[in-house]
Structures are given as structure tokens and as C-alpha cells.
Amino acid sequence: MTIICPCSSTKNYAECCQPFHDGAHFPVTTEALMRSRYSAYVVQNADYLLATWHKATRPKQLDFSEDNATWQKLNILHIKKGGVKDEKGRVEFNAFYVQDGETRLIHEISRFKKVAERWFYVDGVLD
Ligand SMILES: [Zn+2]
């Protein structure tokens, strides 16, 4: 059975974010990390989210038990740096979700930093 990846890439999950979630590979670009973190929210993979969070800003834990949002779609709007040879990057995106019967939107510019050849999520600016 093939599952379309929840990150809206239109690829199969097994060929997109799943190898990152399984720890088989690390994303080499901030876009791939951004997508895999969004899809980790969809599948509620807290371990992956924490493992890809920069240690300076990482929460102690993530609790999805009160979370009734149903994630719908990720739109990547703009990518600044964050390539294979970069040390920092920003990804601007819209993430759509349904909560209490209403479709809502998060618009964020996420900041990423590379530590020992791996990308980490640092923080995000909402607006
Ligand atoms: Zn994906």
C-alpha cells in the first residue's frame, strides 16, 4: 500500500518524509527538514520533532493529547539559503488545518541552523 506523503509533496511517504522519520536519512536541505517536520506534526511523531529541534530552543516535551487540529496542507512560499552548502536558512510557509470545524492557517518564517552537518529547527516568526 502506498501512502501519499502528508507534507503535500505528492510523493509517496516511503520515498519522501518516512526515511527521515525512521532515522534512515537526515534532510540535507531546510526544505526537506521543513516538510518532514510538518508531516511529523501530521503523524504526531513527537520524537522526530524534538530530535530536529535546536537544543537552544527545544521544548522538554511535546504533548499532542489536547491537540484536535487536523492538518490539511503545507504550502512553501519562500526559501532563503538552507541548501547543502549553507549553515543557516529560512523557510516561509503556510500550513492549513481544521480545528473546531473551521479551516485555519499558520503563516510562519522558520529559521534553521546547521550543527555538525545536520539541519535543526531554531524558531519561527508568526504573522
Ligand atoms: Zn514528505
pLDDT tens per residue across span 45-73? 999 999 999 999 999 999 998 888 999 99
Cα 4 to middle of ligand 1, angstroms: 8
Q: Domain total for the chain? A: 1
On whether residue 58 sits in a domain, the answer given is yes
Which CATH number covers residue 121? 3.10.450.50
d(CA 33, CA 121): 8
Cα 7 to middle of ligand 1, angstroms: 4
Cα 48 to middle of ligand 1, angstroms: 14
On whether residue 78 sits in a domain, the answer given is yes
Cα 112 to middle of ligand 1, angstroms: 18
Among 23, 51, 48, which residue's Cα sits nearest to residue 38?
Answer: 48
On whether residue 2 sits in a domain, the answer given is no
On whether residue 83 sits in a domain, the answer given is yes
pLDDT tens per residue across span 82-125? 999 999 999 999 999 999 999 999 999 999 999 999 999 999 99
On whether residue 76 sits in a domain, the answer given is yes
Give ion ligand 1 contacts, CB < 5 A.
5, 7, 9, 16-17, 35, 39
Residues of the domain holding 55? 13-126
d(CA 82, CA 87): 7
On whether residue 1 sits in a domain, the answer given is no
Among 122, 47, 34, 44, which residue's Cα sits nearest to residue 78?
Answer: 34
- The reported pTM is 0.95
Give the model's pLDDT for residue 51.
Answer: 98
Q: Give the model's confidence band at 37: pLDDT under 50 very low, under 70 low, under 90 confident, else very high.
A: very high
